[in-house]
Amino acid sequence: MTTNNNTTHFAPELHIPNGTHSIDFYLQFGATEHFCFRNDDGSIHVAELEINGAIFHVHETMRWMDALEPISAKGVTTVIGLFVSDVAEVMRKGIQAGAIEIQPVTDHDYGYRQGMFKDPFGHYWQIQKKLG
């Protein structure tokens, strides 16, 4: 299910280290690849992916705009909030694909069920659902 071009939506761009040849984690996590452009050495320049209508991009680091991926930044550069119907199942898929659990699935007083993992490139994903 591709997002309608006439709707407003976010499409985050997650930077990955230059020279990255595989983004299999995202495919094993359940993303569909729309396209992937590679550099002459076969490394990934940019890829467009989708998870149930949520489009995002992975892109090699662009030093000219001072963009860093989490590994070279030595920390979190952003947290991707992904709303899903089954938080526990999506967390399980992420961890099975190679992510590291940061916070287990928990129901919070503010009305959200959330869990968090870090993907192999250092990006933090908050998997969530609004309760009630």
Pseudo-torsion of CA 113, 105, 128, 68, nearest 10°? 140
Indicate the domain borders of the chain: 13-130
- Given a cut of 80, whether residue 1 has pLDDT beyond it is no
Mean pLDDT of the chain: 91
- pLDDT, tens only, 76-124: 888 999 999 999 999 999 999 999 999 999 999 999 999 999 999 999 9
Interior angle at CA 17, CA 119 and CA 80, nearest 5: 35
User: Given 3.40.50.2000, 3.10.180.10, 2.40.240.10, 3.50.50.60, which CATH number is that of 13-130?
Assistant: 3.10.180.10
